[in-house]
A and B are shown apart, each in its own frame.
Chain A
Amino acid sequence: MTQFINMLISALYAMLIQNLIFSAAYGISETIKIAKKPRHLFMCTASVAYFSVFAVIGSYFINKLSFIAVLPETAVYLVYAIIIGVVYLISGYFCVHFLKANKKFMNSLGMCAFNSLVLSVPVLSLKTGNDLFEGIGLAVGAAFAFLIAILLINAGIRHIAQNKNIPKVFQGTPALLIYVGILSLALSCLSGESLFV
């Protein structure tokens, strides 16, 4: 029960209190990209959760090996990237040969596997000293943070696209960036840090 509660706290922390996308900009490009065309929203969220969870599980067991402690940080991140790569290749092979997935699906799968959000989950888990359940909670929380960020940005895109009062030069990408910046500022306040003091 305690493990489950820890997992839940970890997920809520990553999702709301310190939204990984707005507070640390992990996977922000992919979030904006999907928010522009949210056709595969839930598939992408599920893929992010899937790869994050497997990355955490893989990294948890890899971290127990003695040689990992000797390696420098950048090499450890490379090992995590390899874990994600292996999971991606196995999943990709399965999707292509058994599920007969189309090109668009495979492109989305690649984008969901190799982004800074997925890679950040095992790294944060290592840095904060999470156990396996907390790590899984963090992974699921990261996926939900991704979903929340997409929905928030998408709602903004609707208004930006319809608003004709925006100067012509700011229409489109510049307005979107400023909107995401203001969102990021708003959600940073939830972390409890004193920003302008």
Chain B
Amino acid sequence: MDKKTSQRKNRLSFKTAFFKCAYVHNPVLTTLTGICPIVAAATNLKNASMLSFAFAIVLVVCEVFASLALKRFSRWVRICFYTLISGFLLACLGFVADPAVSAALGVYLPFICVNGIIVLRCEKFAVRTSVYNAFVDSVAASVGFAAVTLIVGAARYLISLLFFEAESSAVSLPFISLIILGFIAAIHKWSVITFFPDEIVDSFSLSGAFEKPELKDPGLKSGKQRREQREKKKLQNKEIDDYEQIKPRYTIEEIDFSDSKNEEDE
């Protein structure tokens, strides 16, 4: 019974998963992982929706399978499994998919099997948690990916209608998508900073490269740094406790001002 209740407590809710994984830490916009199919193949809404659908199927199956059966393998072996499982799924999808859309997506549909988000989500989350949590996380990550893909697809189609001729090859080149993605990332960053300033957005910065991110919470650090930080916090807490013991333990509400009031009245 206790085990069951603890499992229920550890369950990831859809709301949290969507907020954290699909919005705040959107894998495409924050870490720039797996942008190859979006940049190259999301030229309109039809292609974008097909990409998103294929990606969702692959990610859900991979994460659930990783959580179910791949926990015992070492990391470098698991990476190979993800590619093979997703490759097999996409090969099956190739039989079912609309030939016109498959032709439009070209090699980018089967190339989803080597998408970085699959490895990232499986390794960071799925292999360390329960099947249910892995499923919820995969759905949330798929929604995050789909949202960005659909926006890029729609924007690219609109731009091609408004500014380019129909036969122009510029529309199919990746630079338009990259610039659109840049603007989407900026809007996303603005929304997170404005509405949820407490959320860590260290992935936005070019951290580790040449600048130090300005953060309230320093985020993930090495083990030694984390230990030092914990010890510092402990020391600070101890100091606060000592101070609490010294200072008088009453609040403003508890002080009885009745005597002083009476004196003033007199």
B149 at the interface (CB under 8 A from A): no
Q: Which B residue's beta carbon lies closest to that of A101?
A: B76
A89 at the interface (CB under 8 A from B): yes
* C-alpha gap A35/B215 in the complex (Å): 23
* C-alpha gap A174/B182 in the complex (Å): 4
Cross-chain contact B185 with A116 (CB below 8 angstroms) = no
* C-alpha gap A88/B208 in the complex (Å): 28
Most buried by A among B35, B74, B175: B175
Q: Which parts of A54-86 form the interface with B (CB within 8 Å)?
A: 72-75, 77-78, 81-82, 84-85
B109 at the interface (CB under 8 A from A): yes
**16 contacts across the A-B interface (CB closer than 8 A):** A28-B35, A29-B36, A33-B32, A33-B33, A82-B87, A85-B80, A114-B79, A161-B206, A171-B204, A172-B205, A173-B29, A175-B182, A181-B176, A181-B181, A182-B175, A195-B170
Most buried by B among A120, A158, A174, A184: A174
* C-alpha gap A72/B34 in the complex (Å): 25
B84 at the interface (CB under 8 A from A): yes
Contact with A along B183-227 (1 / 0, CB 8 A): 101100110010000000001111011110000000000000000
Pairs of residues from A and B, 4 with the lowest C-beta to C-beta distance, nearest first:
A74-B94, A181-B178, A177-B182, A178-B182
Residues from chain A with a CB closer than 8 A to the CB of B204 are 171-174
* C-alpha gap A71/B84 in the complex (Å): 17
Contact with B along A141-183 (1 / 0, CB 8 A): 0000000000000000110111000000111111111101110
* C-alpha gap A197/B190 in the complex (Å): 35
A30 at the interface (CB under 8 A from B): yes
Q: Chain B binding site: helix, strand, loop or mixed by DSSP?
A: helix
A194 at the interface (CB under 8 A from B): yes
Q: How far is the CB of B96 from chain A (nearest CB, A)?
A: 10
Residues from chain B with a CB closer than 8 A to the CB of A111 are 116, 119
Q: How far is the CB of B217 from chain A (nearest CB, A)?
A: 17
Instruction: Point out the residue from A29, A36, A170 that lies within 8 Å of B186, measured CB to CB.
Output: A170
Interface size on B, residues (CB 8 A): 62
Cross-chain contact A157 with B206 (CB below 8 angstroms) = yes
Q: How far is the CB of B210 from chain A (nearest CB, A)?
A: 4
Q: Interface residues, chain A, CB within 8 Å of chain B?
A: 22-30, 32-33, 36-37, 72-75, 77-78, 81-82, 84-85, 88-89, 92, 96, 103, 106-107, 109-111, 113-116, 118-120, 123, 157-158, 160-162, 169-178, 180-182, 184-185, 188, 193-197
* C-alpha gap A114/B33 in the complex (Å): 13
Cross-chain contact A75 with B91 (CB below 8 angstroms) = yes
Q: Which parts of B63-105 form the interface with A (CB within 8 Å)?
A: 74-77, 79-80, 82-84, 87-88, 90-91, 93-95, 102
* C-alpha gap A56/B246 in the complex (Å): 75
A78-B178 contact given A72-B94, A162-B210, CB 8 Å threshold: no
Cross-chain contact B36 with A177 (CB below 8 angstroms) = no
* C-alpha gap A118/B125 in the complex (Å): 26
Q: How far is the CB of A68 from chain B (nearest CB, A)?
A: 13
